[in-house]
Amino acid sequence: MDPDARSDTVHAASTWESFVKRVRVLVANQPRLMRELVMATISDQPDIELVGEVVDEGELTEVVEQVQPDVLILAMNETQKSLGQCGFLLGRYPQMRILALAPEQNRGIFYWAIVDIRTKPLESSEAGILNAVRERPMLVGAVPN
């Protein structure tokens, strides 16, 4: 391959990457080990950007306001408490999606809001988490392509 052509190909690839919007993820209030595992999984993905972590649940709303993540991954403790917390956050930040993980129960829930809050089961695996982070739920009333 011509060295000049190779340089153009590399430049074109880096230009293309700059136009692709990476999914911005904030990881919050998991047990430390779980938080580190989730962050390690996310950091290896070229289309996902880790924008921060929140250890203290009391700082969650403030940090969400600051970093404006596309996806928030947090621990799911009691289902009712998680639903209330997710409902509050989605009410303030309806563009955000939330993955609530319960590792001790080997389950997770994917929350998002359009007109109302919607959920679906989340596969409790690395692939399940990555698929949910990348998923772009269809808006209510949108026509599928």
Secondary structure class of 104 (helix, strand, coil): helix
Q: Is residue 73 part of a domain?
A: yes
Instruction: Give the β-pairing of 71-75 and 97-102.
Output: parallel
Q: What is the pLDDT of residue 116?
A: 60
| Predicted model pTM | 0.66
**Number of residues that make up the chain:** 145
Q: Is residue 142 part of a domain?
A: no
Which residue range(s) make up the domain with 37?
A: 21-134
Residuewise pLDDT in 10s, the chain (145 residues): 455 554 454 444 455 455 568 999 999 977 888 888 888 998 889 999 999 999 888 899 999 999 999 999 988 766 556 678 888 899 899 889 999 888 777 888 888 876 566 788 888 899 998 998 888 776 544 444 4
Contacts of 102 by beta carbon, 8 Å cutoff, 6+ apart: 75, 76, 77, 108
Q: What is the CATH number of the domain that holds 100?
A: 3.40.50.2300
Secondary structure class of 30 (helix, strand, coil): coil
- Which residues are paired to 133 by β-bridges? none
Q: What is the pLDDT of residue 31?
A: 80
Q: Per-residue b/e over 85-113, b at no fewer than 16 CB within 10 Å? A: bbeebbeebeebbbbbbbbeeeebbbbbb
Q: Is residue 8 part of a domain?
A: no
Q: State how far the Cα of 32 lies from the Cα of 25, in Å rounded to an integer.
A: 17
